[in-house]
Structures are given as C-alpha cells and as structure tokens.
A and B are shown apart, each in its own frame.
Chain A
Amino acid sequence: DQQVKQNSPSLSVQEGRISILNCDYTNSMFDYFLWYKKYPAEGPTFLISISSIKDKNEDGRFTVFLNKSAKHLSLHIVPSQPGDSAVYFCAASGSSGGSNYKLTFGKGTLLTVNP
C-alpha cells in the first residue's frame, strides 16, 4: 500500500518553462511534506518542505503547493534549467519537528529539462 504516490514516472520540459511535479498521499496523519532531488548513484538532497499549516512555500525558483483536502501537493520549478534534470522524490512525515523524523517516499519522477 503506497501512502505517497507520484503517478508520473517522467516529465520532459523545455528550458525556461515551468516544471510541475505532482504528489498525492493517502495517510491523513502526514503533516509535513518534503521534496528531494536525486542524481543517479547519489543520495537525495533536500529541496523544499511545507508544513500542513501552510498551503504554499516558496524558495527561489522552487514553490511547493499543498492542498490538504485533496491530499495533493505539487512542486513548481520556474524557470526550469537543464541542471534541474534529476529524479524528484516527494516525501511525507507524520511527526514534523519531532525526534522520530520517519519519511515515507514516493517512487520519484524523472525530470528532463531540454535546452
């Protein structure tokens, strides 16, 4: 039973355009959500997060939107750059700021930004 779902295994966009990566979750106990970027044979690197008390968080070119009623979040990257090409993982936690920071990951979406 996949509690965090990324239904698009891949996404291809043109440089300069917006990339929108989607994520759905089923566990209503999740209250903290994160996006990670991962290159092959490397560990994930943190991008941006959002707490369930917010519906938007922005950091430079990256914006995460959270729709709690739909149990859906999305990561917007604008403008997209070729260096953004990587696998993006959505992750969720049910203990934001707590000592047991267990994360549940989606399967990831491979983003390719074409020059």
Chain B
Amino acid sequence: GAVVSQHPSWVICKSGTSVKIECRSLDFQATTMFWYRQFPKQSLMLMATSNEGSKATYEQGVEKDKFLINHASLTLSTLTVTSAHPEDSSFYICSAGDGEQFFGPGTRLTVL
C-alpha cells in the first residue's frame, strides 16, 4: 500500500528558531501534498496545499511567511516553521495523493 513518512517524528526547539519537517511518499509519486495541524482534542486543520513545482496554496489565517512550504519533487514536501513560538507547538501531519490521500504518521513539535 501507499506509504507516507515524516521526519522527524518529534522535535523540541527553542523559541525563535526554525524547524523543518519533511514529508515523503515512499512508494508513489504525488503532485499534491497537504499539510495539517492538530491541536489537542481538535480536528485536523488544513494549513496548505503543496503543489509540486509551484507555490503552495495557504488556507485563510495561515501565515505563508511563517510556514514555508517547498514541494521540490514528486515524493518530497517540506514544511519549515520559521521563528517558532510556543503557540506553534502542535502535531503536524502531512498527506500525499492526487486523488485518495495517504497520511504520514505526524510530527510532534514542542517549542520551549
């Protein structure tokens, strides 16, 4: 079956630093990848749609300069949280697929 990986699975960083999260489709290619964020006891909130070879499309209320998305190839999308603050602490999940979506295992970000 289709497998999506994320790296790292968890990260702790200091406030003001930047953190990069990778999302890879291991056995298939995807023109489209999605980035979600989930706060405790909340739904998965779509942050942005990552399109290979073009700019990401951000959902309303998501700062594109803070959450940088790069979809450099058909198997890799990266999300960089720039100048992270404690309120950015969350569970970040990616999905990949040009039709059905396959989800990664998520990355737990904790900003101190």
Contacts and interface: CB of A to CB of B under 8 A. Distances in A.
Interface residues on chain A, size class: 20 to 34
Chain A, interface SS category: loop
Contact of A102 (B41, B43, B46): B46
B32 A100 contact: yes
B44 A44 contact: yes
Given A99-B32, A99-B98, A100-B32, A43 B43 contact: no
Given A41-B108, A42-B106, A43-B93, A101 B42 contact: no
A106 B6 CA distance: 23
Contact of B105 (A42, A102, A108): A42
A94 B98 CA distance: 14
A41 B103 CA distance: 12
B4 interface: yes
Given A101-B99, A107-B42, A108-B43, A43 B105 contact: yes
Interface in A64-115: 89, 97-108
A43 B104 CA distance: 5
Interface string A1-41: 01010000100000000000000000000000000100001
13 contacts: A36-B103, A42-B106, A43-B4, A45-B103, A46-B102, A98-B99, A99-B32, A101-B99, A103-B101, A104-B46, A105-B36, A106-B43, A107-B42
Given A89-B44, A99-B31, 7 more contacts: A41-B108, A43-B93, A43-B105, A44-B44, A99-B99, A105-B44, A108-B43
